[in-house]
Amino acid sequence: MEQIFNLGKFSELATTYVPKVAGAILTLIIGFWIIGRIVGGMQRLMQKRNVDVTIQPFLKSLISVGLKIMLLLSVAGMFGVETTSFVAIFSALAFAIGMALQGSLGHFASGVLLLLFKPYQVGDLVEIGGGQTGVVKEVQIFNTVLATLDNKRIIVPNGVVTSNVITNISGQGDIGVELTFGIGYDDSIDEARKIILAVGKNCPWIMDAPKQGVVVAELGDSSVNLATRP
């Protein structure tokens, strides 16, 4: 008799919750697919409207996270969880997680500041804190992604960026680079200067600079070091 009762109870629970679970799974699958389509559409719209490429990844992440939270709230409602109760629980969890992840929240706030004040944009060559140098690829919610000149990918927390000196090397357009050339003490400085200027003038990577010159930078142990000055 007890087995029949347990079987009946199990059957009742299965009848009640299996459709809800199946519906929740189906809702999640369809919901995530729709969110992907919406985020992709927003990405294309931002590109079409020429939205700043620095802001695009940030907005894309915010929209994606917001829609996913709304989807989870909807699925919770399917199981009879009241939205107000869920929001209260979520707020408490968010507060607890926030206390544990104060650094991450700081990185988020720093990301907002970077987007507002724009010390650099995607494509700029920057140096952060005198340590990390690279081309800005993305400004994400918590991090800035750099690509170094030797093709390495560096992920720098936004909090680290805003708390250090930011040198935007390409912020003014053209980049001035000082090159050093060593010649022997018996060689002619004037002749070396003419050769260096001629090579620079014929190099397609070097722009014409009317004030460009070649000066003696150092008298080394075994060479006279000449430096180009833009």
The pLDDT score that the predictor gives to residue 217 is 85
Q: What is the pTM of this model?
A: 0.53
The pLDDT score that the predictor gives to residue 2 is 45
Task: Let me know the angle formed at the C-alpha of 140 by 137 and 144, rounded to the nearest 5 degrees.
Answer: 55
In this structure, are residues 200 and 214 in contact, taking their beta carbons and an 8 Å threshold?
A: no
Q: Domains in the chain, please, with CATH? A: 2-100 (1.10.287.1260), 120-168 (2.30.30.60), 180-229 (no CATH)
The pLDDT score that the predictor gives to residue 1 is 47
* pLDDT < 50: residue spans in the chain: 1-5, 100-101
Amino acid at 229: R
Cα–Cα distance, 70 to 145 (Å, whole number):
28
The pLDDT score that the predictor gives to residue 108 is 73
Identify the bridge partners of residue 181 per DSSP, sorted by sequence position. Answer: 226
The pLDDT score that the predictor gives to residue 97 is 53
Q: Following DSSP, what letter does each residue of 86-139 receive, concatenated? A: HHHHHHHHHHHHHHHTHHHHHHHHHHHHHHHH-S--TT-EEEETTTEEEEEEEE
Nearest CA to 64 out of 161, 117, 141, 167 is that of 141
The pLDDT score that the predictor gives to residue 153 is 92
